[in-house]
Structures are given as C-alpha cells and as structure tokens.
Chain A
Amino acid sequence: MAAAIELRHVTKRFLTPSGTAYTALRDLDLAVQDGEFCAVVGPTGCGKSTTLALISGLEPPSEGEVLVGGAPVQRVGRDVGYVFQADAVFPWKSVLDNVATGPRFRGIERREADERARDWIRRVGLAGFERYYPHQLSGGMRKRAALAQTLINEPRFLLMDEPFSALDVQTRTLMENELLQLWSATRASVVFVTHDLEEAIALADRVVVITAGPGTVKGVYRVDLPRPRNVAEIRFQPEFSRIYQEIWNDLRDEVLVSYERSKRVVS
C-alpha cells in the first residue's frame, strides 16, 4: 500500500531577517499510511509546524520531495484540511458563515453550503450558536468552530498544529475525545503535531519524535492501544505508561538540547 503522505529527504531553509539561512528541517523522512493517525512530537522550535506547511503546500521544500496521495505537492491541495494552533476562524463572520466558508470557496451555492454547515455545527456541539461571532464564544467553542470549518470539506489528509494547546486541561480532554470520534467516521490520514507526549500517545497510531532544530526523525513508535479509546482513561493503562517511558527516553535528550540552546540565547 502506498503511503498517503510521504516526505523524502526533505530539507527546509528559511531566510532570517538578518539575511542568514536558518535550517528548520534537515533530511526528514516521514510516511503516513492511509487512514493512519500519526502524531509528531518534538521540543519547541524543531520545525514541527514547518512540516505541516510543507505537506499542505503553503511552503515549498528547499530540497527533497513531498508526496500527498502519491503525487508531488505543487500547490495547496483540495483534499487537505489544516487546523491551526492560533485562532484561525474569521472574526467578521458568524459561526454559520465561518463553517460554510470552505464549501462556498469551492463553488457550492449558498443554500446547500449553509445546510451542510448547520449539520457540522451540530456535530461539533455548537447547535444554537450559528449566529454568534467568534469573539462572543469561549476558546473551546472557537476551536470547535475551527474543527467544523475544516472537517466540512471532508479532507482526506488532516493536518493539525497543536490545535488544543491553548485550551484548559478539561476542555482539552473533551475535545480530544470528540476529535477521535469525528475522525473515526471520516478515516482521514492525520498528522497531529504536538509537544505533549501524553496527548500524542492517547490519540495516535504512531508517534514520530523529531530532534531539536534542525528537525529530523529521531525515532518512530507504534502505539498498539485498542480503539475506540477514551482519552481520559487510557492514561491509566500499563501499556500506556510503558510506551510513554520508551518514547520519553528519546525525547528527553532533545528537550534538554533545545532547553540548553534557549538558555544560551537568553544569556
């Protein structure tokens, strides 16, 4: 079976404002199977978000190849969904208009787009808030709206960039469970970027650890916990702790490297 998303020897450099090149990713290899939930974990600033920008087509790689659905990425793909870390819902659109944006952009007429948007708003538990503007909602509700906005396009490839990092712990657990539920209905291939190892293990089929920048793959770990999972309870299983320990041994070194570097920058 061909991989749904594949990065081959990908290197990405950015030009810093001072004019020097900054290497965010170096010789990164990553393959995500069809319908697989893959979590990418790494210390701050290791190029996790850059990986997603490359897969989505927002940024071209400096070297190497990025394949999505078997074809090299040329532009922003139609089958790609992206949930951003920051608030990305449009503040000047109501919840209904926000969720209906994707279908409207894709040329579906207003009435049908609204109907589908209503359905998705209900699925993410925002029924009754269709006419609200984002600033009138809580952070968790805005995230739900963002999820509906992305999922309504029925992406085959779902990219998520620390989507729940700004939420409080309780809301976060709730949202993680809901994400798993919604995902199990779509079976999209997911790349879920996070710095939280617990979140990664609880959600994913596979966890990829990235080294401190320039990012490259340090290790890949299978998570053989049964589905459907309950994120709140899965943490207490002995298998969970075993995997956690195994991955943490690798991750710890990278976190320390990244921490030492940030100290050096400060001092």
Chain B
Amino acid sequence: MVVLGFWEIGTTIDAIHKDGLWIDPFFYGRPSGIASQLSTWIQNGTAQGPLWLQIATTLEEAFLGFLIGVVLGVVFGVALGRVRLLSDVFAPYIKALNAMPRVVLGSIFIITIGYGIWSKVALAVVLVFFVVFFNAFQGVREVDRVLIANARILGASERQLSTHVILPSALSWILASLHTSFGFALVGAVVGEYLGAIHGIGLIIATAQATFNPNGVFAAMFILAVVALTAEVALTWLEGRLIKWRPNTLEVPRI
C-alpha cells in the first residue's frame, strides 16, 4: 500500500509541477491509470477484442500445456525412475534438452504450428514437462525400500507396486512441483503469445509495449497475478485432498 501510495503521489506531483520530476508516468505508469485502463478493458474490451476472451485464451493455453506437461512428466519420470535401462539410455538426452533455454523453442513452434493456441500449448508443455519430470523421477528414486520389500512380500505384482506404493509415495514430490510448474505453464502461454498470437494476455502486453502504454503492461501483469494466485489456491486445495494421509505440520504434536 505504501509503495502504491508513493507511486501514485510521485506521479501526480510530477503531473502538476512540470519541473519536479519524481516518477515519470510516461515510463512507469500510475496506479490510477492502471485502474482506469483495467476498467476500460472490462467495459469496452481491448484492441484485440473483449478482455474475457484474452484471459480465457491464455488460461486455456496454460491449462492445456499444464495438463499435458504434467501427464507426460509423471509418465516419463515414473518409467525412467522404475526402469534402470530406460534412465541410462534417455538421461543424457533429457539433461541436454533441459540445459537448452527452452523459450527459444517458442519461435520454432510458432513457425511450425502457427499462430493459434497450440504453439503456446506446446511451449507450455515443454516448460512444464521438465519440472514435473525431474520431481517425479526423484520421487520414485526416494521411495522407502522397506515399503517396496513389504509390498513384494504381501504379493504385489510390478503394476501393483507402481500404483499402490511408488505413485503414492512420489505424489508428494510431484504435487510440490505442480506449484512451480503452473507458473511455468503461464510463462509458456504468455511468452508464446508475445512472440505472435491472435488473442491472449501476452499479446495485450506486446501491444501495450509497442504503443508505449506502461499502464497497459501493468494492468496485464495485474491480471496475470490474479490468475496465478487463483491457480495456486486451487492447487493447494487439490494437494490437501490428495495427500490427506500426511501429518498436518500445523497440528500440535501428539505425545
């Protein structure tokens, strides 16, 4: 609030006294300007069409990318974690791919897949996949050996071992990675739109930047922050549902 107030006053004083430049609204925007930009977008729509369409497009890209990336990451992570041969064969390639700055792939996706949502989904998938993959892989490797031995003695087949022991055990690792990876899905979607799109928040930012409209950039950032926070809350809820067996750290320790 203090920052916002200072920002607003700084830019206002500047507007009244032309010589007393505190913060130049031309470069840094102004909170009230951002608010009015938001309300204009909500009431009249953006240059690219109604605001909800931009948000929906970005969300759709991020969610699809997130889902596909998570599924692929979990499948590959568990498979490579379980089968030594697979991990020996594929690990060098995955490490090399991971070391590459994956954002540059966005340009390639736009050339090959086009300006529609799927080039953004592809970029989001690539970003999400590696985060989830490494967590799932590590989660599988860290499964308590006693639990595996116990399941074998109790008569588990290889598949039952995966579904009853290894997946639930790796789940806390995988779920922890979902928080970071949804952020990456958003990055993928927005950067993809930034590089070239028909709709989306990234496109709004690119347009605002091109027309020297800092209020537009900040307003779009604000929208993204709200989206990310909402997703975070949903993920935390999901986590609580999926691993309700885990002791609650806030609970008073039992004696």
Contact = CB atoms under 8 A, between A and B. Distances in A.
A90 B155 contact: no
Interface string B147-179: 101111111110010001100110100000000
Please indicate which of the listed interface residues B151, B155, B171 has the most CB atoms of chain A within 10 Å of its own CB.
B155
Contact of A82 (B150, B160, B244): B150
B243 interface: yes
Interface size band for A: 20 to 34
Interface string B175-187: 0000000000000
A93 interface: yes
Please indicate which of the listed interface residues B149, B150, B156, B171 has the most CB atoms of chain A within 10 Å of its own CB.
B150
Given A90-B165, A135-B245, A135-B247, A105 B155 contact: yes
Given A84-B146, A90-B164, A105 B246 contact: no
A76 interface: yes
A106 B153 CA distance: 11
A91 B246 contact: yes
A78 B245 contact: no
Interface residues of B, number: 23
Given A90-B168, A91-B245, A135-B245, A58 B152 contact: yes
Given A80-B153, A93-B245, A101 B146 contact: no
A236 interface: no
Contacts of B244: 133
A105 B150 contact: no
Interface in A55-94: 56, 58, 76, 78, 80-82, 84, 86-88, 90-94
A45 interface: no
B164 A101 contact: yes
A153 interface: yes
A68 B167 CA distance: 32
Given A56-B153, A105-B154, A153-B155, A88 B160 contact: no
B146 A105 contact: no
Contacts of A56: 153
Contacts of A81: 153
Interface of A: 56, 58, 76, 78, 80-82, 84, 86-88, 90-94, 101-102, 105-106, 133-136, 149-150, 153
Interface of B: 146-147, 149-157, 160, 164-165, 168-169, 171, 243-247, 254
Given A87-B146, A105-B164, 15 more contacts: A58-B152, A58-B153, A81-B153, A82-B153, A84-B150, A88-B146, A90-B168, A91-B245, A92-B245, A105-B160, A135-B245, A135-B246, A136-B247, A150-B154, A153-B155
